[in-house]
Structure 1
């Protein structure tokens, strides 16, 4: 009986070690799944986007990323950008993330519609993380259509209408953002038939109207 108990105990320990090894192997693969692109004020958009040869603009990185990829953006000033029809997956999101506390996206006049500094449309499983943007002609960041878009750790201030606006977008996650000084409306406005949004940890203050406004449409 004691021999059997020792065998069972030994098997249990070995099984635990095996499970740990499998978990570690899976974690290692998850870390390297997807390509990483780099963006820096010292870069050039003719570069390949590596850490040694980064892109200059976030716009260029947006054209390069595919499901599972990450664009890491250094501190500095960058032109406003559009993200159209970029679709990741639940286990392979597309991530655009600032690596420091001062990656600033500025308002530009060289796009067809310059009202929103960051314009995201018909995207899914996209993460925008850690940017600052001020003085937009309408919204610092606008999400239109799509689903499962995450906006986190951003600071949007003194924009003409909203800090962050969404319309017809489902399953949004909006967390840990600061929105202040919106001149005519709200800090964050979740508008027009957006289902199942999650908002948490946001700080909205000194806006003309509401800090956070959610619309509830019966049917559109």
Structure 2
């Protein structure tokens, strides 16, 4: 054997030895905490460390779960098999807030890399899942139904991925994402939060995006709500907007919801922008949303509650048909929003189809 080959083999052996002697990664020490019916999910979460998984067996669990451990996976056995419902006896902060699962970080110390998967959250007084102050939260395969306010709700959170969930028959929005719910401030940048491949039905509003920037709402099916998609802004700075609403199927959102202090009655609203800027509404299929509310129609631009107009929004390449009183409705005062290459029949004002 040549000296060159001997040298190569010696180096290769050194590399292998270094690899074998290296300290294992945190993932190598991760633990699966298994929860069976009658056992406490919260107890397993409390025992978990970063990188661990809490695996919940099929069954119905009367519980409110508070997550403050980073890099934790909370996984059920499927939304039809693992079901969480309220427990009136619980008195912790999450129970008092009326939520099923609370994922809790802060602005100063965001809770990172939490994943909630494959379970149902049913009948909570306020929210099925509530998350605040998170970074890279993942919510997948969750069914949130018949909760008092929001099905799945996020605030003060960045880089979230909310995908392949179902939210139905919730008191307000099926999916709700916002800058913050307890203070008045300008829009926050989500650093690319994605709401994708969700099915939203029977809620007051399918998706509400409030005072946010840099976010995408895409490939969702939204049907049977009073209103499908609301992008909400106002006069504060930064303005809400700079987001994408694309490739959604928005159809037959004709449920009736009474007026509130903030909004007129809702019925037959497809995609509605109020007080937003630089939002791209593209390649959506918006069909058969019909009503007589000021916000009714297929794709609607409407000034915000404080009179702030939508500006520099781009509505194009959408199929918008069978909506009433109009497929496209520009009920705003600004002149710098653009409508182009949309396939539709009726517009307000005329001439946009």
Question: TM-score w.r.t. structure 2 length?
Answer: 0.47
Q: Name the residue aligned to 2:41.
A: 58
Cα distance in 1 for residues equivalent to 2:203 and 2:26: 44
SS at match of 2:124: coil
2:87 maps to 1:108: yes
Q: Name the residue aligned to 1:51.
A: none
- Deviation, 1:161, is 1.3
Q: Name the residue aligned to 2:36.
A: 40
Cα distance in 1 for residues equivalent to 2:104 and 2:44: 17
**Residue 162 of structure 1, aligned match among 139, 150, 155:** 150
The answer to whether the 8 A contact 1:41-1:74 is kept is yes
Which protein is bigger by CA-based radius of gyration? 2
User: How big is the alpha-carbon RMSD for the aligned residues of Structure 1 and Structure 2?
Assistant: 3.6
- Deviation, 1:156, is 0.8
Q: Name the residue aligned to 1:152.
A: 140
Q: Name the residue aligned to 2:76.
A: 98
Equivalences for 1:6-45 in 2 at 5 Å? 32-41=28-37
The answer to whether the 8 A contact 1:181-1:207 is kept is yes
* Gaps in structure 2 of 5+ consecutive residues: 180-187, 213-236, 240-353
Q: Name the residue aligned to 1:180.
A: 168
SS at match of 2:173: coil
- Deviation, 1:121, is 1.3
- Deviation, 1:109, is 2.2
* Alpha-carbon displacement from aligned partner over 1:45-99 (angstroms, at most 9, x marks no partner): xxxxxxxxxxx11111111111111111101112332425x243xxxx2111113
* Alpha-carbon displacement from aligned partner over 1:90-140 (angstroms, at most 9, x marks no partner): xxx211111344111111223251411112211623111111011221111
Cα distance in 1 for residues equivalent to 2:134 and 2:204: 27
Cα distance in 2 for residues equivalent to 1:194 and 1:200: 15
2:113 maps to 1:128: no
- Deviation, 1:206, is 2.5
SS at match of 2:43: helix
Question: TM-score w.r.t. structure 1 length?
Answer: 0.72
Q: Name the residue aligned to 2:191.
A: 196
* Gaps in structure 1 of 5+ consecutive residues: 1-6, 43-55
Say if 1:161 and 1:179 are closer, same or farther in 2 by CA, change over 3 A: same
Cα distance in 1 for residues equivalent to 2:35 and 2:104: 22
The answer to whether the 8 A contact 1:107-1:114 is kept is no
Equivalences for 1:137-148 in 2 at 5 Å? 137-148=125-136
- Deviation, 1:157, is 1.1
The answer to whether the 8 A contact 2:66-2:103 is kept is yes
**Residue 208 of structure 1, aligned match among 198, 203, 208:** 203
The answer to whether the 8 A contact 1:104-1:132 is kept is yes
Cα distance in 1 for residues equivalent to 2:189 and 2:139: 15
More helix by share: 1
Cα distance in 2 for residues equivalent to 1:155 and 1:186: 14
